[in-house]
Amino acid sequence: MAGLPIPLPAGDNKDKILCIADLERAASKKLPITAREFYNSGSTEQITVNENSTAYAKYRVRPRVLVDVSKADPSTTCLGRKVSFPLGVSPAGLQGMAHPDGEVATSRACARKGVNMGISSFSNYSIKDVRKAGLDIGPISHAIQLYTLKNRELELSIIREAEAQGCTAIFLTADSPVLGVRYNEWRNDFRTPKGLSFPILKRTSEMIQKQTHDDQFMSFNDDAHNWARDIPWLRSVTKMEIWIKGILTAEDTLKAIEMGCDGVLVSNHGGRQLDGVPATLDALPECVAAANGRIRIHVDGGVRSGTDIFKALALGAEYVWVGRPVIWALAYNGEQGVDVMLNTLYSEFKRCMQLTGCNSIKDITKACLGLVRSDGPLARL
Ligand SMILES: Cc1cc2nc3c(=O)[nH]c(=O)nc-3n(C[C@H](O)[C@H](O)[C@H](O)COP(=O)(O)O)c2cc1C
Ligand SMILES: O=C(O)C(=O)c1ccccc1
């Protein structure tokens, strides 16, 4: 899952956590197989989930040397706040299955590192608990992830609660009118484990036990969702920023601009919805070109190292989000695991900036990358 294999030394210390692949291995040892397969799988043939990571290996970094990088600064801004580096935690549901502290632990670790977080509608903790946990540590912006729900009153009540708790943005997930084809969930008859609830959606543990993940998802999500009906409605009921999560084309980027959205999250749901759609890194350039600076473009999917973050920025993303690395970190060691994950990506990203002669985020441009060709030298972008 995590990009290309990183060789392990033959000697001792195999269990040291030095990179995201180490966290994935550590999580695999701790998670029951049904949970591990639920978290790690993509849909159908697993093409997109795998390609999300391997797409990064097609690019090479073009470093500039003999640059004074003693004051290199990876900080930037995101959702109205200064962040320590251009990485956030994507909204991923069911974090309580990876560790009892779930989203509360994630929020604390994000605030400690100075990065932002998306809260899934399927969080195992309330918006209030997740916000408070982060804010007790330090400043943090949260986006509330929403689906267009069949139950509009419920959707509106989530929006009002997100506003009351000080969330900055809505991430409207647009790639999930129905769930993707998930063989693992169906074979395992995957259900949310006992004791976990979905407070944002007002579902108790007893209620969700009765349904498979697929049935639950279908019972909430409105497959009649559409731009013309839903975006003006959202705009009319809230002043929070509206971001569309799950865009993969220039056409839909233009649509998001036309509808007055604040940003686009180029995403394929971690390869869990329609298999066979492009890796997000491969979809990114056409979205960036279509946007032409008129709307913010972020990306998630398959980011597993600081150099991956650097490559996504060089291809025009303003900010990058990660999903599964958070789950693995939680499974490995709860809040401290997420600290390790964020510190690892921060340190890798900063070193990558320094080793390429970049002193600030604005120095990371397409001149910093080349595309590997099978038939000749590196192609300039
Ligand atoms: C276990 C899991 C749960 C997820 N839950 C949600 C969700 O509730 N809402 C949503 O919009 N995306 C969800 N996603 C997708 C993530 O927000 C994100 O797009 C994806 O994980 C990024 O890819 P990565 O895992 O390769 O980093 C989920 C992903 C995973 C792996
Ligand atoms: O499985 C998913 O991809 C997803 O979006 C989700 C939704 C609800 C709970 C957990 C994950």
Mean pLDDT by 10 residues, the chain (381 residues): 63 86 97 97 98 98 98 98 98 98 99 98 98 98 98 98 98 98 94 96 92 89 98 98 99 98 98 98 98 98 98 98 98 98 98 98 98 95 94
Is position 3 within any domain? no
* Spatial separation of the C-alpha atoms in residues 3 and 218, rounded to whole Å: 31
Q: 62 CA distance to ligand 2 centroid (A)?
A: 37
Task: For residue 175, tell me if it sits in a domain.
Answer: yes
Q: Is the CB of 185 under 6 A from ligand 1?
A: no
The parent domain of residue 209 ranges over: 20-370
Annotation says 269 is catalytic: yes
Atom 11 (ligand 2): residue with closest C-alpha?
A: 93
The CATH number covering residue 93 comes to: 3.20.20.70
Is 7 within a domain?
no
Rounded to 5°, the CA angle 13-14-18 comes to 90
Would you say residue 2 lies in a domain? no
Structural domains counted in the chain: 1
pLDDT at residue number 1 = 47
The predicted structure's pLDDT at residue 239: 98
Tell me if 12 is assigned to some domain. Answer: no
Helical residues (DSSP H) of 32-136, grouped into ranges: 33-40, 47-54, 102-113, 127-135
Q: Rounded CA gap, 312 and 303, in Å? A: 9
Decide if 367 contacts 359 (C-beta within 8 A). Answer: no
Q: How far apart are CA 78 and CA 110, in angstroms?
A: 13
- Residue 377 counted as domain residue: no
88 is a domain residue: yes
Q: How far is the CA of 92 from the centre of ligand 2 (A)?
A: 7
**CB contact set of 218 (below 8 Å; sequence gap of 6+):** 178, 179
Between CA 293 and CA 214, with CA 235 as vertex, the angle to 5 degrees is 95
368: tokens are: 């910093």
> Among the options 213, 225, 269, 298, which is catalytic?
269
Q: What is the pLDDT of residue 6?
A: 72
Say which residues have a Cβ less than 8 Å from residue 231's Cβ, sequence separation at least 6: 172, 242, 259, 260, 261
In the annotated binding site for glyoxylate, the residues are 147, 182, 269, 272
Task: Give the residue, out of 213, 245, 321, with the most ligand 2 atoms within 8 A of its beta carbon, to mutate for a pocket test.
Answer: 213
pLDDT at 15: 86
Q: How many CA atoms lie within 13 A of 302 on its CB side?
A: 30
Q: Is the CB of 86 inside a 6 Å radius of any atom of ligand 2?
A: no
CA angle (80, 85, 88) in 5-degree steps:
70
Q: Which two tokens stand for residue 251?
A: 């056409």
**ipTM for the whole complex:** 0.99
Write down the pLDDT at residue 13.
78
Does the beta carbon of 93 sit less than 6 angstroms from any atom of ligand 2? yes
Q: Is 307 in the pocket of ligand 1 (CB under 6 A)?
A: no
What interhelical angle do 280-291 and 250-258 show, nearest 10?
Answer: 40
